[in-house]
Amino acid sequence: MKTIDLSSASVRELNQALHDDVQDREWRVARPDGKHNLAVGINQSVSVEIEGHAGYYCAGMNQKASVTVHGNVGVGVAENMMSGSVRIKGSASQAAGATAHGGLLVIEGDAGARCGISMKGVDIVVGGSIGHMSCFMGQAGRLVVCGDAGDALGDSLYEVRIYVKGSVQSLGSDCVEKDMRAEHLEELKGLLDRAGFDEDPASFKRYGSARQLYNFKVDNASAY
């Protein structure tokens, strides 16, 4: 395992090393100390263990890599991720997984506001609760919440499937509760298994788009 200590190395040196064609497949990042833009833009199958807290955009635009943060993360963790996986052992700030197209984002703690905003195909599994306006304009993918969801969940939702175990403070425009059919239970079980959470899929509720706002209609003006 290769170690980069950010008390002496720069963020630039870390990212360049992870972008270069590396022989070492396992990397350890020591003393991250909340620095921003750690392990962003990786495009190869490496495993990165960040041993502490990370700042904004940790693992942004990740492709293929597996990144684990042994701490909390700031705004926009795994933003626009394309593939691979990102696991946060602590909690995440706002906009976790924003606009991400693919891969798996697991947050073992809580996530702040706008978790999964404009998500475009990623799977996000949160062990705790999520903040308000989560999954706003969510386009594709799955969002699983083992705790509670804040206000306006799934506002202006497109095709994301949302599963919440706890309470939902309120649903956003055009987001509705939907039947949990057998295929959804199976899908949810698969997501929970991949995330490593021992939860009963039957204890979750499913939410999705009513698809009433897909086209502008005068009668819906107050909902936009």
Instruction: List residues binding another protein (CB under 8 A).
Output: 11-12, 15-16, 19, 36-37, 40-41, 43, 55-57, 60-61, 63, 75-76, 79-80, 82, 94-95, 98-99, 101, 114, 117-118, 120-121, 136-137, 139-140, 156, 158-159, 214-216, 218, 221
Q: Which residues of 10-27 are buried (b: 16+ CB within 10 A; e: fewer)?
A: ebeebbeebeeeeeeeeb
Least spacing, CB of residue 53 vs another protein, in Å: 15
In what helix (H) or strand (E) does residue 140 lie, and over which residues does it extend? strand 140-145
Triad 170, 172, 174: Cα angle to 5°: 130
Q: Please identify, using beta-carbon distances, which residue of 158 and 163 lies nearer to another protein.
A: 158
Least spacing, CB of residue 73 vs another protein, in Å: 12
Q: Please identify, using beta-carbon distances, which residue of 72 and 165 lies nearer to another protein.
A: 72
Least spacing, CB of residue 177 vs another protein, in Å: 20
Least spacing, CB of residue 152 vs another protein, in Å: 14
Least spacing, CB of residue 221 vs another protein, in Å: 7
Triad 15, 41, 195: Cα angle to 5°: 110
Q: Please identify, using beta-carbon distances, which residue of 101 and 194 lies nearer to another protein.
A: 101
Q: Please identify, using beta-carbon distances, which residue of 91 and 99 lies nearer to another protein.
A: 99
Q: In the numeric block, which tokens belong to residue 183?
A: 């295929």
Q: How many CA atoms lie within 13 A of 68 on its CB side?
A: 11
Q: Please identify, using beta-carbon distances, which residue of 155 and 199 lies nearer to another protein.
A: 155
* CB burial of residue 7 (10 Å; 0-12, 13-18, 19+): exposed
CA 193/CA 206 separation, integer angstroms: 18
Least spacing, CB of residue 186 vs another protein, in Å: 24
Q: Please identify, using beta-carbon distances, which residue of 121 and 150 lies nearer to another protein.
A: 121
Residue recorded with tokens 């909902």: 223
Q: Please identify, using beta-carbon distances, which residue of 117 and 171 lies nearer to another protein.
A: 117
Kindly report the number of other CB atoms within 10 A of residue 127's CB atom: 21
Least spacing, CB of residue 136 vs another protein, in Å: 8
Largest CA distance in the chain: 60
Q: In the numeric block, which tokens belong to residue 190?
A: 């698969």
